[in-house]
Structure 1
Amino acid sequence: MTSFALIGAAGYIAPRHMTAIKANGGDLKVAYDPNDSVGIIDSHFPQAHFFTEFERFDRHVDKLRRRGEHIDYVSICSPNYLHDAHIRFGLRAGANVICEKPLVLNPWNIDGLAEIEQQTGHKINTILQLRLHPAIQALKERIAKSNERHSVDLTYITSRGRWYHASWKGDDAKSGGVATNIGVHFFDMLAYVFGPLQSQTASLREPERAGGLLSYDKADVRWFLSVDANDLPDAVKGKKTTYRSITLDGEEVEFSEGFTDLHTRSYQEILAGRGYGLDDVRFCVEVVSQFRNLPIVAGGERHPFVDKHIKG
């Protein structure tokens, strides 16, 4: 049975990792989080050891290794700015790593991780789950057969309350900003479907929302991301708290469903040796890192929601 350790067990995304571990026949041996609100573990691995102090967690993982019960994978669901350090811990503990998005906040962190990966002989995998979504795979196949250049609008609004800005997610130095925190996997998906990036511009960058223009090999993409419920379309307000939309040349691409099991699918691929590694993730990390420092362009092509916000 494949053994796992989990860092960030009290986080929002951790239950999906626990579900994925169990669904793929794994065993969660030990988990860590400074917050002890981790009762969800009982639904999956009630016998897992749990620590609120990293030093004790580290000692336990090392004890398992010394008695021949080493951890096969360290899964990381900690705050974004800690991913780099926790990945290093996992590799040096003699395990492979599965890390939530964004893998790291800046591309130069990837270079350092590549060195440790080579030194230890263990592999870093990241969760790029949209590549596994059936609708996205179908879109990729459709675009590959086309010689046309396309016009795309990407909209993602996921409502967050006041707690968001009081947490690490509201601190750009820790989360990377809203474009990184909720958008990095969408930028990966866009390159996966439309090819290499040619250029990007920023039209909006605020604590609650961001937008810009991305020009890929086969498409120009106007995008808008937000954590403010006020940005939800009128047809959705009061009914749903999340809105996802991709239009291709004015036609809606249906991908509103099918998200719940993508982490389980991701784990299945990783355990089969087909996970996404450092080379796969570098591009989307470069995009969000660059976006944080781009000048805001007042004119030119921009997403209708960006236009509406600026005018309003």
Structure 2
Amino acid sequence: MKNFALIGAAGYIAPRHLKAIKDTNNNLIAALDKFDSVGVMDRYFPNADFFVEFERFDRYIEKIKRNNVNLDYVSICTPNYLHDSHIRMALRRGADAICEKPIVLNPWNLEALMDIEKESENKINTILQLRLHPSIIKLKQKITSGSKNKKYDIDLTYITSRGKWYDISWKGDESKSGGIATNIGVHFYDMLSWIFGDVQENIVHLRESHKSAGYLEFENARVRWFLSIDENDLPGRVKVVGQKTFRSIEIDGEELEFSSGFTDLHTKSYQEILKGKGFGLVDCRRSIDIVHEIRNSELIRLKGEYHPFVSKK
């Protein structure tokens, strides 16, 4: 049984990490969040110590270490801009880090963490759960075994409705979240680069606070992508049935079915990490490069390959 601490216990994604720690038969000894609405912990680890101040949390971690209680992992579910700092804290305390994506916002942050990881005896892991999705694994096997010279034509569309709270929260602040493409798109870019190879072209057609779109060309794929949190972008057939999310990946005109199978992907991620097979800094480098370029690229007029949803804007 390994000992875990968790930072960001009141966040949206924290319950998946709590469940994963529980499902893998491990123990949560401490949790931190500046917000105290963490009743979800009763379902998993009611006896874990809880802190609302980082200083007291950090002092507690140091104290238990002096009392020969080993902290093995720190799970990080905090806002994107804080990941870097909290990963460093985990390594300083002699623990491995398990961090939600995006692991950092900028490529140079990744390089600095690589140096720090080398200096420590610990590992930095990130959650890239799409790589563990059965349909995505099957697709990768198909592409890997196919022609090395073929380029697939792909339309990626992801619309996940968000309310007015989004703009007020840290997610609506690009300096903290990285913007739409980073916040809700980074795991798709990771999946695409994992399957289709290095990026050859990265063009941005639309970049607004609630939506973004562009064109990515990989070694084996041409991808038109569209991401949005505006429910007005939902297709009519989706609105009619009351759905608030639309997720689609179309490859050479065929829909990739991957709407199900997400339930236990965090638990699977933890199982691989505990076996020493987690995804590290090198694995997420391409996706961090992609989103950084999307944030900083010059917008290109609508010409050539662009997502059909953009023409409606």
* TM-score tier after normalising by the smaller chain length: over 0.9
The runs of at least 4 consecutive aligned structure 1 residues that moved more than 4 Å come to: none
- 2:93 maps to 93
Which among 239, 243, 261 is matched to residue 240 of structure 1? 243
Q: Which residue of 2 aligns with 1:68?
A: 68
Contact preservation (8 Å) 1:130, 1:185: yes
Quote the residue 1:273 is aligned against. Answer: 276
**Does residue 1:308 correspond to 2:312, yes or no?**
yes
**1:153 counterpart SS class:** strand
Shift of 1:89: 0.3
Partner of 1:37: 37
Q: Can you list the C-alpha shifts for 1:29-64, whole angstroms capped at 9, x where unaligned?
A: 000000000000000000000000000000111111
Q: 1:184-233 deviations in whole A, cap 9, x for unaligned?
A: 00000001111111111000000000011000011100000111111111
Q: TM-score, normalised by structure 2?
A: 0.98
Residue identity opposite 1:107 in structure 2 = P
- Aligned-residue offset at 1:271: 0.4
Structure-to-structure mapping, 1:123-272, within 5 angstroms: 123-147=123-147, 148-237=150-239, 238-272=241-275
List per-residue Cα deviations over 1:230-275 (Å, max 9, x = no partner). Answer: 1111111152111110000111010111111110100000001100
Please report how far the alpha carbon of residue 106 of structure 1 lies from its aligned counterpart in structure 2 after TM superposition.
0.3
What's the CA shift for 1:68? Answer: 0.8
In structure 2, the partner of 1:25 is: 25
Could you tell me which residue of structure 2 aligns to residue 49 of structure 1?
Answer: 49
User: Structure 1 residue 174: deviation in Å?
Assistant: 0.3
Q: Aligned pair count?
A: 309
Matched residue type, 2:39: G
Q: Which runs of 5+ in 1 are unaligned?
A: none
Q: Which amino acid aligns with 1:208?
A: H
* 2:109 alignment partner, SS class: helix
Would you say the 8 A contact 1:61–1:70 is kept in 2?
no
Find the aligned partners of 1:233 and 1:193 in 2 and give their Cα distance. Answer: 27
Aligned-partner residue type, residue 209 of structure 1: K
Counterpart secondary structure, 1:182: helix
Instruction: Supply the distance in 2 between the matched residues of 1:93 and 1:158 (Cα, whole angstroms).
Output: 37
SS in 1 for 2:236: coil
Residue 307 of structure 1: how far off its partner (Å): 1.7
User: Whole-Å Cα distance in 2 between the matches of residues 279 and 95 of structure 1?
Assistant: 19
CA shift for structure 1 position 145: 2.1
1:115 is displaced (CA, Å) by 1.4
- 2:116 matched residue in structure 1: 116
CA distance in 2: counterparts of 1:183 and 1:164, whole angstroms: 16
Three-state SS of the structure 2 residue aligned to 1:39 is: coil
What is the rounded CA distance, in whole Å, between the counterparts of 1:217 and 1:112 in structure 2? Answer: 28
CA contact (8 A) 1:125 1:278 kept: yes
> What is the letter of the counterpart of residue 286 of structure 1?
D
Could you state the TM-score of these two structures normalised by the residue count of structure 1? Answer: 0.98
Counterpart amino acid of 1:74? V
Alpha-carbon distance in 2 for matches of 1:307, 1:22: 46
The one-letter amino acid of 1:97's match is A
Give the secondary-structure state (helix, strand or coil) at the position aligned to 2:162: coil
Aligned-residue sequence identity (percent) comes to 59
TM-align CA RMSD = 0.7
Pick which of 139-148 and 65-74 moved more.
Answer: 139-148
What SS does the aligned partner of 2:237 have?
A: coil
Q: What amino acid does structure 1 have at the position aligned with 2:152? A: H
Mapped to 1, the partners of 2:256 and 2:249 lie a distance apart of 5
Q: Which moved more, 1:292-301 or 1:88-97?
A: 292-301
Helix, strand or coil at the partner of 2:50: strand
How far apart in 1 are the matches of 2:91 and 2:230?
37
Q: Which of 288, 292, 310 is the equivalent residue of 1:289?
A: 292
Which residue of the partner structure matches residue 84 of structure 2? Answer: 84
